[in-house]
Amino acid sequence: MVADLSQDRSRLGRSSTAELVADILRDRISEGFFRPGQRLSEESISEGLGVSRNTLREAFRLLGHERLLDHKLNRGVFVRLPSAEDVSDLYHVRRVLEGAAVRLAPPPEALAVIKEAVLDAERAAAEDDWQRVGTANIRFHQALVSLNGSPRIDEAMRQLLAELRLVFHVMENPRAFHEPFVDRNRTLLGLIESGPPERAAAYLDDYLDDAERLLIDAYAP
């Protein structure tokens, strides 16, 4: 009778001002409104958002732990500016997490989400909407990693992709970067559906190697 409301329960506790502020700032950083390297003044932002400095500082801590902000003692918080080593490390983690995902037997309903992301990327590419291509590409890899079925890995991937977005924001033309991977996403999907896991894994490794190389070459922080 008392249907399991234990799921909805998690939603209940999710609304302190500090977390709301963190959500807002995360979105702003993600969309590029705050640029990497930029300093975020406690005074101006707390005033702008209408929250106290203490509450804002709690939000800063949250985002600092997600590696989106860089907290320098007595100097303030800055939007993180990833180094080339950071990019390399991010791709190493991607190889581990995505590689583990494609080696698993994929549940059909999870495949549907991936397929939808591939389709959306293709549609957006046909319309020259490269902003949306990038978003769909991110959704593709997020869904890919979710094949692991692990909440912690999903969360780690979310943070990783948010950090990677910082890299894109300092590049001159991120669109050109995403273009070649629309087709490869579809190929990879096919290998996951039908091919042996090892082939998908090998293809993915090449995929990520190429992406990392392209990115690092074009990246001058």
Residues that bind a second copy (CB under 8 A): 12-16, 18, 54, 57-58, 61-62, 65-66, 71-73, 89-90, 92-93, 95-97, 99-100, 148-153, 156, 160
Site for DNA in 12-41 (CB under 7 A): 16-18, 39-41
Mutual angle of helices 108-126 and 130-145, in 10-degree steps? 170
The verdict on 73 binding DNA (CB under 7 A) reads yes
Neighbours of 128 (CB within 10 A): 9
Contact status, residue 160 vs residue 93, Cβ threshold 8 Å: yes
Of 42, 66, 129, 212, the residue at the interface with DNA (CB under 7 A) is: 42
Site string for DNA, 111-130 (x = CB under 7 A): --------------------
Residue nearer to a second copy on the CB measure, 52 or 131: 52
Residue nearer to a second copy on the CB measure, 32 or 99: 99
Alpha-helical runs (H) found in the chain: 6-12, 17-31, 42-49, 53-65, 84-102, 108-126, 130-145, 151-170, 174-178, 181-193, 197-218
Contact status, residue 198 vs residue 161, Cβ threshold 8 Å: no
CA distance 71 to 147: 34
Size of the site for DNA (CB under 7 A): 21
Q: How far is the CB of 39 from a second copy (least distance, A)?
A: 15
Of 54, 88, 131, 173, the residue at the interface with DNA (CB under 7 A) is: 54
User: Which listed option, a second copy, DNA, none, makes contact with residue 76 (CB within 5 to 8 Å by class)?
Assistant: DNA
Residue in 135, 171, 178 with CA at minimum distance from that of residue 35 = 171
Of 23, 30, 32, 55, the residue at the interface with DNA (CB under 7 A) is: 55
Q: Which are the contacts of 216, defined by CB distance < 8 A and separation ≥ 6?
A: 84, 87, 88
Residues that bind DNA (CB under 7 A): 16-18, 39-43, 50-55, 57-58, 71, 73-76
